[in-house]
Amino acid sequence: MKEKNGIIIVMVSLFLISVTAMGYGQQRGVTKDKILTGAWIAMSGALAYPGTSFMYATESYFKYINDQGGINGRKLEYIAYNDDFEPAESVAAAKKLLEKDQVFMFVTPMGTGTTAAVRPIAEESKTVIFGPGSGSPLFTKPYNPLFFLTIINYHDQMALAVDYLVKKRGLKKIALFGAEGEIGQVTREGATDRLKKYGLNLAAYDEARPTDVDVSAQFNKIRSAGPEAVIISATPKPATLMLQEMEKNNWKPVALLYGTISDQVPGMAKGAAEGVIATEMYPPPESNLPEIQKHREIMKKYVNKEINTYTIWGYINAKIVVEVLKRLGNNITTESFIKEAEKLRNWDTGLGLKITFTPTNHDGSKMAYFSIVKGGKLENFTDWMEVKD
């Protein structure tokens, strides 16, 4: 009897030890044949267009990689939950992804405020948030090892725009028309900071909501300051309305669109956008670059959707994630991912955009170029430019 009890005790002990070892030795979200990733996305409401674009881009690229054999034999899985762009829902989605789905990392979740709400959870669970659909420097300044931005942030975009307008065009009175909320706040700070370097002040600032149907008050306020140039960091609809107000009133300052809206506004504003300068963070969807063609084909094949600016952004993020994971071999942990990503130096995305992460900087890109709207189309007139501090 005693012998039997002894055997049972030994077996139970062995079982407990093995279970404990499994729990501690294994990285969450990485199994023998799978790597799980996830995101919170606005799939309904006013921001469903960028949200679902990010989602389809990530999903299609991961499916494409899986068809090529996956990441060293492991298939990539991507789970997205709708958060309606509401922070409380983003937190719920993040908790579900970590606890129920057991994801390894978050890939291209959407929004600044929503991602900021998830930050404490990501930090507590030591989970990487790669390429949030946001150009806010909030996540990378100061350096946070868990956050990676892949596009030039809003602050740096403003520096690039001001450099171009002041240094190349010799303009001194520059105004800003922004989007209400975080984008407006950050771009205003960015433009103000850069203008200070030249001993200048922002000539005027006003902003609009994404749903605004009239921006005549903002137009009058900005025009009354008499700026030579207006940088536009509003959402597509008010940005279009502003250009139409300029045309209607026959007022033609240099108008410069910030990166996120550069491919939508020329089409929406039609003739009113003629001659407008657009910041481009990566090539437009109409581009014939082989990498854009590839993205177009992948999107068509796996999710049957057209590409747009946001899908290209999501595609770049997914591509970098895959590159880093491939380099890791079988040692896939949060720490190893961060370490490997920080080895990327001028890594070519295939789009001309080069990505660099270092152990002290996770702003992957400081690059953009300018195009001009001619005959309703964007015509590139500068090379890739990099912001210098």
Partner 1 sequence: MREAIKNKKVWVGLGILVILSLPSYSGTYVVYLASLAGVYTIVSLGLNLLFGFTGLVSISHAAFVGTGAYTTAILLTRLPVIPFPIVLIASGFLAAVLGLIVGLPALRLSGHYLAIATLGFGYVMTEVFLHWERLTKGALGITVPKVSIGPIHFASEASKYYLIIVLVFIMIVLTKNILGSKTGRAFIAIRDHEIAAQSMGINLAWYKTISFVISAFYAGIAGSLYAVLLSYINGEGFQLGVSMLYLEMVIVGGMASILGSILGAIFLTVLPEILGTKYQLYQLIVQGLVLVLTLIFMPWGLSGMFWRLHKWIKGKGSATNGS
Residues 135-174, mask of contacts with partner 1 (x by CB under 8 A): ---x------------------------------------
Secondary structure of the chain: what % helix, strand, coil (to 5)?
45, 20, 35
- Which CB, 38 or 253, lies closer to partner 1? 38
Instruction: Provide, rounded to whole angstroms, the least separation between the CB of residue 32 and partner 1.
Output: 24
Q: What does each C-alpha distance from 115 to 37, 181, 309, 334, 387 come to in angstroms?
A: 15, 15, 20, 18, 25
Position 305 contacts partner 1 (CB under 8 A): no
Residue 345: which residues within 8 A CB-CB, separation 6 or more? Answer: 356, 358
Position 99 contacts partner 1 (CB under 8 A): yes
Integer Cα distance of 166 and 36 in angstroms: 47
Q: Are strands 385-386 and 377-380 parallel, antiparallel or unpaired?
A: unpaired
Contact 273, 242 (CB under 8 A): no
Q: Which amino acid is at 87?
A: P
Residues 26-55 that bind partner 1 (CB under 8 A): 43-45, 48, 52
Position 119 contacts partner 1 (CB under 8 A): yes
Read off φ and ψ for residue 377, nearest 5 degrees.
-120, 155
Instruction: Provide, rounded to whole angstroms, the least separation between the CB of residue 46 and partner 1.
Output: 9
Position 113 contacts partner 1 (CB under 8 A): yes
- Determine the 3-state secondary structure of 372 from DSSP: strand
- Which CB, 113 or 285, lies closer to partner 1? 113
Position 106 contacts partner 1 (CB under 8 A): no
Burial zone of 113 (CB within 10 Å; 0-12 exposed, 13-18 middle, 19+ buried) = middle
- Which CB, 4 or 100, lies closer to partner 1? 100
Residues 56-95, mask of contacts with partner 1 (x by CB under 8 A): -----------------------xxxx-xxxxxx-xx--x
Instruction: Provide, rounded to whole angstroms, the least separation between the CB of residue 195 and partner 1.
Output: 19
Integer Cα distance of 96 and 98 in angstroms: 5
Position 182 contacts partner 1 (CB under 8 A): yes
Position 181 contacts partner 1 (CB under 8 A): yes
The binding site for partner 1 (CB under 8 A) comprises 43-45, 48, 52, 79-82, 84-89, 91-92, 95-96, 98-100, 111-114, 116-117, 119-120, 138, 180-186
